[in-house]
Chain A
């Protein structure tokens, strides 16, 4: 067993009294005070997350647009002339999901953030295809990421001397470089907020300044309840290499509008009958209990399985994402410890802009 990796802020987390957990070989904070308090802080005010375990890549030279057109299932042309971020997936030839990621583009530079558990796989994959486009792949293990999220995120950032006022002009998914610092109006909570992708040498001063301005430190526990309330997939749970995007609630990230574009996995996707394949749907448990990954569900016309499940602090009920056969209607059953309990099928976006969906 190798020693778990530590982010630059590891000592700060310990000093704040965080409970630490091994997450994909990284020693990360799971909570500082209580998961519930941290969750509500992000929904009502502002929280800060150290997500420096995520993998950051930069690119140099060559035909970078051609490269992304090839490996990315979303179409990079959407952001190629804008200062914006684009979410999507990379696929293998069979259409299986290798990872989900965000590509940022500003000032003619691309920066990519993908998951930590897929770092080595992705680095090899990018390099394999980058060569034919003359693109150099640069792994930025010297970069850290802070997410500042919540209705008060922007005003809190503007109060920090370290952050320039121009961030207030960023629209949702907008981004900008300041030197090697990238500021983007993105996040994984369903709230307004920014992600700061900055060199590790600078990250402690950002972190301390944000705490001083009232940001509540948030662990991976609340990060999971927040993303699930927002209906956002987690790689490894809700999407894996053995499933394609259409059965993973990701059809909206597959861009086949440009007939001349041939991305990896496209041919396999074109053969899939989207009207009959399984789908991901939101699930809410009617009574007491907590949905957990792996629980079996059923409905009038088929079966399914819970992929992600938790207790929603905002909705005060258990919610989850399930992959189910089509024809699921409005309700079904979940088996919890040999008891069949009632569930309702709803939009996976349980919350919109931090508010309960009607």
Chain B
């Protein structure tokens, strides 16, 4: 069974978000998602300063097998993208929740977090 940390919230399309202590949020894709995709070879990240709506396209991740859209769990402005992913996209496979994060954003409304899936609910999605 794939790993699902308890401090995250999820979209059913396999993105996670972590609310940091300073009120910013970090976004990535789940262990289950990286396992489904297989070896990741390319990531197209959003621009710093870009505004993204919740559940709209934020990034694209490509494995050898397939290309997949990554949707933003929350609305907000991108404040940082993970520079490691350009040269080492495979780090998403080995560390989806830590070193393999995609971008950080300043959320427009942290209340949106309430509508996301809890780790338990997300596990149920994965087991379907």
Where the two chains meet, the residues of A that have a C-beta atom closer than 8 Å to any C-beta of B are 30-31, 34-36, 221, 225, 288-290, 292, 310-311, 313, 318, 337
B60 touches A337 (CB 8 A): yes
Where the two chains meet, the residues of B that have a C-beta atom closer than 8 Å to any C-beta of A are 38-39, 41-42, 44, 60, 62, 64-65, 67, 86, 93
A290 touches B38 (CB 8 A): no
Interchain CA distance A290-B44 in the complex, whole Å: 11
> For chain A, what secondary structure do more than half of its interface residues adopt (helix, strand, loop), or is it mixed?
mixed
A residues within 8 A CB of B67? 290, 292
**Other-chain residue from A34, A35, A36, A289 in contact with B42 (beta carbon distance below 8 A):** A289
B residues within 8 A CB of A288? 42, 86
B residues within 8 A CB of A337? 44, 60
Interchain CA distance A30-B93 in the complex, whole Å: 17
Interchain CA distance A337-B67 in the complex, whole Å: 11
Name A289's closest neighbour in chain B (CB-CB): B42
Can you give 24 A-B contacts (C-beta < 8 A)?
A: A31-B38, A34-B38, A34-B39, A34-B93, A35-B38, A35-B39, A35-B64, A36-B64, A221-B38, A221-B64, A225-B64, A288-B42, A288-B86, A289-B42, A289-B44, A289-B62, A290-B41, A290-B42, A290-B67, A292-B67, A311-B41, A311-B42, A311-B64, A318-B41
A310 touches B64 (CB 8 A): yes
The minimal Cβ–Cβ distance linking A309 to chain B, given in whole angstroms, is 10
Name B86's closest neighbour in chain A (CB-CB): A288
Q: Which 3 A-B pairs have the closest CB atoms?
A: A311-B41, A290-B62, A36-B39
The minimal Cβ–Cβ distance linking A118 to chain B, given in whole angstroms, is 24
The minimal Cβ–Cβ distance linking A279 to chain B, given in whole angstroms, is 26
A-B contacts at CB below 8 angstroms, number? 35
B residues within 8 A CB of A221? 38, 64-65
Interchain CA distance A129-B62 in the complex, whole Å: 46
> Taking A288-B42, A311-B41 as contacts, is the C-beta distance between A35 and B62 under 8 angstroms?
no
The minimal Cβ–Cβ distance linking B109 to chain A, given in whole angstroms, is 29
> Taking A290-B41, A311-B41 as contacts, is the C-beta distance between A35 and B65 under 8 angstroms?
yes
The minimal Cβ–Cβ distance linking A106 to chain B, given in whole angstroms, is 37
A residues within 8 A CB of B60? 337
13 extra interchain contacts, Cβ-Cβ under 8 A, other than A31-B38, A34-B39, A311-B42?
A34-B38, A34-B93, A35-B38, A36-B39, A221-B64, A221-B65, A225-B64, A288-B42, A289-B42, A290-B42, A290-B62, A292-B67, A318-B41
The minimal Cβ–Cβ distance linking B66 to chain A, given in whole angstroms, is 8
B residues within 8 A CB of A225? 64
Interchain CA distance A318-B39 in the complex, whole Å: 14
B residues within 8 A CB of A35? 38-39, 64-65
